[in-house]
């Protein structure tokens, strides 16, 4: 299928400014640019949900989380999902992903807890993973207080946040606590060492360029860190058995498409229930462009509904 015309319009708009050279990139500039992009491309007609910000005493100090509660929720414990935003561990935040979490919450009827984990280069790996794992366990331990049915708890994320979600699932399996019901992975980065056809084909001009990706990964994983470690590249894990059912969404014109598909295949071969969708015509970060790309809004709704179906079933 050809590139979605609305996605093409966005890529053309972004191209007019030209891509910054590697030595001109800075975390502050990229973070501001991503926040401005979110404000420009997020939908205006978002589902009505209740939002509450909290601070936890995390492993590295104060850890902010944002809780989203569906408008129509009764006194019974509801399904929940701990969500990790993307941004290669360097940029994005609960603010850039606020609209996405509102959509996932409202469309699925699921309580969503978005985690504002520490970012590199100020806090390189493993800070983000430590915060993500801590937040997941905290939500599980406090599920009753949060109005969440602990037996219907999922994790989710997009891009590098999906990496965190996948690794958290592996950690939870190893520790047997918490028992997670599902994982929702949007455009996951599953192998930092990948040399796939999609990485080659879409390395320039499709939102997430090779220059930007390489620069961000260098911030997140400084020299001396083994990027093939399964806690950074979950596709390289030795064992995929016993992981929660997976709902994996990739995009046709995404550099990460092939490694997302490979992760789905690895899980399926290990006996994990997998639901895999490659969204035709879309690009990386489509879920953050749902106000400008109708097909992206539909894809987010599809992901949310699949999450609800997953959490309405026994694990």
Active centre residues (catalytic): 159, 254, 284
Sheet holding 111-116, edge to edge: 49-58, 61-70, 111-116, 78-84, 148-158, 182-186, 245-253, 274-283
Q: Is 14 exposed, middle or buried (0-12, 13-18, 19+ CB in 10 A)?
A: middle
* Extended beta strands in the chain, E state: 49-58, 61-70, 78-84, 111-116, 148-158, 182-186, 245-253, 274-283
In DSSP notation, 245-263 reads EEEEEEEEE-TTHHHHHHH
The token duo for 154 is 């999922």
Residue with tokens 């408008």: 71
> Cβ distance 161 to 116 under 8 Å?
no
């Amino acid at each position: 299928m050809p590139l979605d015309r609305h996605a093409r319009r966005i890529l053309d708009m972004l191209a007019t400014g030209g891509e910054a050279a590697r030595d001109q990139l800075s975390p502050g500039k990229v973070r501001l640019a991503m926040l401005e992009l979110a404000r420009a491309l997020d939908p205006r007609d978002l589902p009505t949900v209740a939002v509450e910000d909290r601070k936890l005493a995390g492993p590295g100090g104060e850890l902010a989380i944002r809780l989203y509660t569906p408008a129509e929720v009764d006194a019974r414990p509801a399904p929940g999902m701990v969500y990790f935003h993307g941004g290669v561990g360097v940029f994005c935040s609960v603010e850039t992903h606020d609209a996405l979490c509102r959509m996932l919450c409202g469309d699925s009827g699921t309580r969503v807890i978005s985690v504002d984990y520490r970012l590199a280069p100020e806090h390189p790996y493993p800070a983000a993973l430590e915060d993500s794992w801590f937040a997941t366990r905290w939500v599980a331990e406090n599920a009753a207080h949060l109005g969440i049915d602990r037996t219907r708890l999922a994790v989710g994320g997009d891009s590098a946040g999906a990496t965190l979600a996948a690794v958290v699932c592996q950690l939870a399996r190893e520790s047997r606590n918490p028992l997670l019901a599902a994982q929702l992975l949007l455009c996951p980065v599953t192998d930092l060492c990948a040399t796939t056809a999609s990485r080659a084909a879409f390395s320039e001009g499709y939102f997430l360029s090779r220059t930007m990706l390489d620069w961000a990964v260098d911030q997140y994983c400084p020299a001396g860190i083994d990027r093939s470690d399964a806690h950074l590249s979950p596709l390289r894990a030795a064992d995929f058995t016993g992981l929660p059912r997976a709902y994996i969404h990739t995009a046709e014109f995404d550099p990460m498409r092939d490694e997302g598909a490979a992760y789905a295949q690895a899980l399926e071969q290990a006996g994990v229930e997998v639901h895999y969708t490659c969204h035709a015509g879309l690009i990386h970060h489509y879920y953050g462009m749902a106000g400008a790309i109708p097909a992206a809004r539909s894809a987010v709704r599809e992901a949310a509904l699949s999450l609800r179906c997953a959490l309405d079933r026994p694990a």
